A and B are shown apart, each in its own frame.
With several copies, the nearest count.
Chain A
């Protein structure tokens, strides 16, 4: 398999799906003439034309709703929201409309819509440009939410999302766009939505992660191996539906778990993971599930403060050690 970047995997997949199905179209701000703020759609407008790759005014509520209505009539729009911070002005169309149309109308209309957007922070983008809201969408029945961590997963999940007949929120990460990995070229390679993957086998502790945090988890797992600590890494891949079975099976084997998330700690994704584990693997847990997450502040701009507020490898290592120190219950 050729090794390409996460960006390239997305760009390839969008191009292939545009070529495959005339009802697929891309829509968003600056995705055409500008080539995409983060160059995910580079070259696609010149290849497929302005009808298929549509530059929009700054009107997220308008064009997200427009894409939803177009999907109801059979188009398959793939919308780019420049970053997830800007999705708030469009969230009524997604949550009060797109997510409910199929169920609320008794199955009479389908909404084959994909909304791609990068979540999380990088550099010093500060409070309004560094947020994570995937937990908000994961909360909503009727939506499907995926968050690939590798170029391989990005391709497989984007294909599936575009071919899926429900609204899919496709979570990307600015910090992942330049990461590289093997990606199958096979035309019908897809990955299922709603299924997590054990990205690394381990026996001492389970680390649950998604998107960019999976990359950190894999690095930490490798580093700790030298110390003789065997870390199993579960990559959620999908946040809704959540694949609880894969998480629980892993924890039943390792008896310990840490979840790492880039979002704010309270009421974040990790809360659901920890709650689920204690519900379904209570008798297997030798220590409380630890959470590593973003510090709860509007992310400050200053480099040091910003760094101090984001979860990193060292935080994960510390949490793993805490979890391993938690002695076996029956020894207490």
Chain B
């Protein structure tokens, strides 16, 4: 335990910002483009919500861009990802078409979940993105099970289980991490620590506020990472990913970033001091920080930044247009996907058609 702790503190330090000399400029530009894409996508998403193009609950990744892009940069196609409901950016950064993601938010047939899931329930099987889950902690046992399957079948890859800081206080956390450590599963428990579970601070929710230390109960290694530094996240993930895959040593990543807005788009964020939020947003804006670093390092200039901004603007507009033009799912298909293996005495197309007809009579 003592040793582990020392090691962990060392790591926490080592996860500091790195210089860009050793990096491939094109890679860095790609990261920036991705981060900006997520930023603009979410800003437009919030706009679309107020325009009532999007319904239900909607949680944004604003402030989390470096965390997401850094994580995805470290993963391989073999890896699987499970997340919570704050997942738009994860699906896009993992390679899903932004149009298909926006279409899902619009509830269209062309959406990544065929319009059945919505903002909190995105899925992309081809990209090994195994779902956004809206019950706090619900994705933890599932992700642990995916890691179990990889080990059982002797397949390469690891499973990343993303969650929020407040999720470390629910029972599923304890059971999942114990099983992962006990059975040496290739899993990374990736905590997006934005300091809040809705209005509750980490300190108000967890008796051990240093979340990376909570693995001690399972002899599981943990590290704190600066979530506003795309390279820090990428490198820590790479290192721990390899350890998980090759040594069957799961780990906790406590990735710190700042939540730019309320918990969801309908949260007015009254419980936080507006001034402080403004200050922190300026201080911890991953996109801005990265733009500065890249400029200082002479990797990009204002022209490139402007051009990239325009490009992203276009890309997001295209996503919105695609979503807008896409068709709604048909009521006649209401019972499609009910069961994977057909079974008698279950409604199907005919019953759905009857409902559709009745709707004609207004429902």
Please report A residues at the B interface, Cβ cutoff 8 Å: 23, 25, 29-30, 33-35, 37, 51, 55-75, 85-86, 88-89, 92-93, 96-97, 101-112, 123-129, 141-142, 144, 164-166, 192-195, 241-245, 295-298, 300-305, 307-310, 312, 314-315, 318
Contacts and interface: CB of A to CB of B under 8 A. Distances in A.
B149 A70 contact: yes
Contact of B120 (A23, A57, A72, A128): A128
Contacts of A74: 149, 153
A104 B116 contact: yes
A35 B263 CA distance: 14
Given A104-B121, A126-B134, A305-B115, 14 more contacts: A30-B200, A34-B199, A61-B171, A72-B130, A75-B148, A75-B149, A124-B118, A125-B57, A127-B117, A142-B338, A241-B345, A297-B335, A305-B329, A314-B363
12 contacts: A34-B199, A34-B200, A58-B170, A59-B169, A69-B147, A71-B145, A75-B148, A102-B338, A103-B338, A108-B125, A129-B57, A303-B55
Interface of B: 55-57, 80, 82, 104, 107-109, 111-121, 123-125, 130-131, 133-138, 140-150, 152-153, 166-167, 169-172, 175-176, 178-179, 182, 197-200, 204-206, 270-271, 328-329, 331, 334-341, 343-347, 355-356, 358-359, 361-363
A300 B116 contact: yes
Nearest to B131: A105
Nearest to B54: A124
Closest 7 CB pairs of A and B: A65-B141, A69-B145, A62-B175, A301-B118, A106-B114, A124-B55, A34-B199
B146 A73 contact: yes
A57 B114 contact: no
B328 to A, nearest CB: 5
B145 A72 contact: yes
Contact of A300 (B115, B138, B198): B115
A127 B121 contact: yes
Contacts of B150: 73
Nearest to B117: A104
- Name the residue in B80, B144, B145, B170 with the highest tally of chain A Cβ atoms < 10 Å from its Cβ: B145
A166 B339 CA distance: 6
B209 to A, nearest CB: 12
B113 A57 contact: no
Contact of B138 (A65, A243, A304): A65
A301 B107 contact: yes
A74 B128 CA distance: 13
Given A68-B145, A314-B361, A242 B345 contact: yes
A302 B328 contact: yes
B175 to A, nearest CB: 3
A66 B144 contact: yes
A26 B39 CA distance: 39
Given A69-B141, A125-B56, A300 B329 contact: yes
B346 to A, nearest CB: 5
Contacts of A56: 179
A301 B356 contact: no
Contact of B113 (A105, A144, A297): A105
B167 A110 contact: no
A116 B270 CA distance: 24
A144 B339 contact: yes
Contact of B82 (A33, A69, A93, A245): A69
Contacts of A125: 56-57
Contacts of B149: 69-70, 72-75
A57 B80 contact: no
Given A144-B343, A314-B361, A57 B205 contact: yes
A195 B328 contact: no
A314 B345 CA distance: 26
Given A96-B138, A301-B121, A108 B344 contact: no
Contacts of B131: 101, 105, 109
Given A70-B148, A303-B107, A308-B359, A165 B340 contact: yes
A309 B334 contact: yes
Contacts of A58: 136-137, 166-167, 169-170, 197, 200, 205
B267 to A, nearest CB: 8
Contact of A59 (B109, B170, B361): B170
A305 B149 CA distance: 34
A144 B252 CA distance: 36
B142 A243 contact: no
A51 B107 CA distance: 42
Nearest to B269: A34
A66 B141 contact: yes
